[in-house]
Amino acid sequence: MSELTAKQAKILAFIKDYIAKNQMPPTQTEIASKFRFTQTAARHHLIALHKRSAIQLTPAISRGIKVLAYE
């Protein structure tokens, strides 16, 4: 498991905070809006987090992000 980039760490922190406040994960659109990315860029960051075992993605579900135990 490799370390996260600074941007990936910020995105992961945002996802965790969003879940804590809303009891559900953000959509890709919400992530893109927060960080002023395109939705495609947000998707690429989520895939990178998934490859680093920080999150689990469920395909075809709008809020299909699950934070995994990542330290």
In a domain, 1, yes or no: no
CATH code for position 61: 1.10.10.10
Supply the pLDDT for residue 59: 87
Supply the pLDDT for residue 70: 55
Question: pTM of the prediction?
Answer: 0.90
The crossing angle, in degrees rounded to 10, of helices 39-51 and 28-35 is 110
Residues in CB range of 28: below 8 A, 6 or more apart: 39, 42, 43, 46
Supply the pLDDT for residue 33: 97
In a domain, 45, yes or no: yes
Domain count of the fold of the chain:
1
Supply the pLDDT for residue 62: 85
Print the domain residue range for 50: 6-67
At 69 the three-state DSSP class reads coil
pLDDT tens digits, the chain, 71 residues: what are they?
478 999 999 999 999 999 999 999 999 999 999 999 999 999 999 999 999 999 999 988 889 999 997 55
Cα atoms found within 13 Å of the Cα of residue 14, Cβ hemisphere only: 19
The letter for the amino acid at 57 is: L
